[in-house]
Amino acid sequence: MMEAVMNQYHYYLDLSVRLAKARNKNYLAEFLTEQRNVLDRCFGGEDYVLATYYIPNELFVPFDLPVIYSDRIAGFGAACNLLKEEEWKKSDQYTSRCSYQIYLNSMLKKKILPLPKLIVASNYPCNSAYQFCKELSETYQIPFLDLKVKRQESTEAYQDHVKQMEQIFQYLKDHFSVKKSIQSVVNISNQMILIKKEIDDIRNQYLGIIDTQDMLNIFTLYNDFGKESSVEALQMLRDDLHSKTENYSWKPGVKKLMWLGTTPLCMSLIDKIEEQYACKFVCEDLFLFCAKEIHFDTFCQDLVKRIMDSIFFTEEKRVFKTMEIAKRYQVDGIVHYSQRICKFLPPMFPKIQKAFSDIRIPAIELCGDGIERASWDKNYKEQIETMMRILCEDKKIEC
């Protein structure tokens, strides 16, 4: 079973890498190659860590520990079709779990993914993911470390988070041998931050120059900070954007939209929207990850500051940040993609919609699922068309 799965994701990933190269998207090819390398190690039986999204990879790189991030592996498994729908859906008794959790649970239950050596989870940004990981640790008797984040910007909360982060790091030092100096991991991480800033400068100057699908495809690079291969992927992306700037210009009459929320299973939806409705996405909030440098002497403190400065840390922060960008870019409309049964971003949508409607920017919500093919809100065409009509009437521009 395991060998068949390995063959399947190898096949899929080799295909994706070749396709990315053929389309001159070397940054995507590099990113996918690294994902394949990590999976090779985990599926091949090496000790690995299962973690939730904001647990920083810099904690594990010094020990050369491969890390599987819970949502990423589920999304990846679904994209590779590792489990048939009837296999993963029927195997879970919980109806309140999101499809990402159900999918990962099935992969472990069916033993197509070996059990992790350690689980490290945070309730930020998703308490549901945290609970799910805790249940996994209890079911399979896997050591569990946690970072319980308080959504408060207080000194007390910060100190508490630092203490927990230090405890996690100490556990790793006590149980695994150091293979790489922390200073080198810090340097690589900071290098990535500098390159990301350069990318953002280009994106700010040349709105829409980066492909929205690419941003959504590689936003989880945030989970690969501190790794050399990720520096290369970001460098390639920056160089690619640089090379496009000379001939790039915004097409007159094309509406500027902002993509918020998560990623659909079928990414071509984004291209379809852009092609059919004379619009272009100029930004998406998953790619707005916090760019804070870290230092050797204040390693854990800096990692905590990065989490607390991230865009989703409080609802107010997210609304403020997205509104600031929308105004700066003069965005015409917002498309919020909401994952079904997700406890993280969809509950924030009403606040986003209200804030934008106060400044006369329409915001629509598309509902779907990043894992389940059949589950898709068929009204998306109608919703987009309604929004585009509003945009055209409002600005008195011919569509």
- Residue closer to ligand SF4 by CB (options 48, 130) is 130
**Chain contacts with ligand SF4 (rule: CB under 6 A):** 71, 98, 100-101, 126, 128-129, 339, 342-344
CA–CA gap between residue 188 and residue 225 (Å, rounded)? 8
Burial of 259 (0-12, 13-18, 19+ CB in 10 A): buried
Report whether 327 contacts 243 (CB < 8 A): no
* Closest C-alpha to 368, from 218, 220, 215, 266: 266
Phi/psi for 122 (5° steps) reads -125, 150
CA–CA gap between residue 371 and residue 82 (Å, rounded)? 11
Q: How far is the CB of 227 from ligand SF4 (least distance, A)?
A: 22
CA–CA gap between residue 315 and residue 317 (Å, rounded)? 5
* Closest C-alpha to 189, from 286, 262, 120, 289: 289
CA–CA gap between residue 380 and residue 338 (Å, rounded)? 12
Q: How far is the CB of 340 from ligand SF4 (least distance, A)?
A: 9
- Residue closer to ligand SF4 by CB (options 71, 214) is 71
- Residue closer to ligand SF4 by CB (options 117, 343) is 343
Q: How far is the CB of 360 from ligand SF4 (least distance, A)?
A: 30
Q: How far is the CB of 109 from ligand SF4 (least distance, A)?
A: 17
CA–CA gap between residue 3 and residue 281 (Å, rounded)? 40
Burial of 128 (0-12, 13-18, 19+ CB in 10 A): middle
Question: Which H or E run includes 140?
Answer: helix 127-140
- Residue closer to ligand SF4 by CB (options 99, 212) is 99
Q: Position of tokens 């100029």? A: 282
Q: Which two tokens stand for residue 142?
A: 């896997």
CA–CA gap between residue 38 and residue 82 (Å, rounded)? 17
- Residue closer to ligand SF4 by CB (options 10, 343) is 343
3 state DSSP class of 361: coil
Q: How far is the CB of 344 from ligand SF4 (least distance, A)?
A: 4
Q: How far is the CB of 343 from ligand SF4 (least distance, A)?
A: 5
- Residue closer to ligand SF4 by CB (options 49, 193) is 49
- Residue closer to ligand SF4 by CB (options 9, 100) is 100
Q: How far is the CB of 228 from ligand SF4 (least distance, A)?
A: 28
Q: How far is the CB of 98 from ligand SF4 (least distance, A)?
A: 3
- Residue closer to ligand SF4 by CB (options 285, 332) is 285
Q: Where are the alpha helices (DSSP H) in 23-44?
A: 26-43
β-pair partners for 364: 335
- Residue closer to ligand SF4 by CB (options 117, 340) is 340
Q: How far is the CB of 393 from ligand SF4 (least distance, A)?
A: 35
Q: Which two tokens stand for residue 160?
A: 């508490």
